[in-house]
Amino acid sequence: MANAIAKVPSMISSALTQARPKFNIFMKYARVELAPPKLSEIPQIRAGISKLLSSAKSGAWKQQTVKQATLNTLVGAEVLFWFYVGECIGKRHIIGYNV
């Protein structure tokens, strides 16, 4: 038992050494992907929303491939999921509000 306890610090340092490069890659992408939009990106966002609305009105969404439709469905589900996660964080309960 004492031998196993003596190995714990070396195992922790080994795990940290192996995890550090992956964590650095994660932080590199997190700084870009999780940042809020800049003011210079607002026109691109408006153009994207107007394109989405016009394709919805014209029925262009019916001409998508199965792969594109699946990807769009997954992205929509992800947005919905993060909305509900934010709601749970905001109300500090999974079900109902603390009145």
Q: Give the pLDDT confidence of 26-35 residue by residue, as tens digits.
A: 999 999 888 8
Task: Dump pLDDT digits (tens) for 17-54.
Answer: 998 999 999 999 999 888 888 999 999 999 999 998 99
- What is d(CA 78, CA 73) in angstroms, rounded to the nearest whole number? 9
- What is d(CA 91, CA 97) in angstroms, rounded to the nearest whole number? 6
Do 52 and 61 contact (CB within 8 A), yes or no?
A: no
pLDDT value at residue 77:
97
Q: What does pTM read for this prediction?
A: 0.53
Task: Dump pLDDT digits (tens) for 52-99.
Answer: 899 889 988 889 899 999 999 999 999 999 999 888 888 877 777 666
Give the residue extent of every domain in the chain: 1-38, 58-99
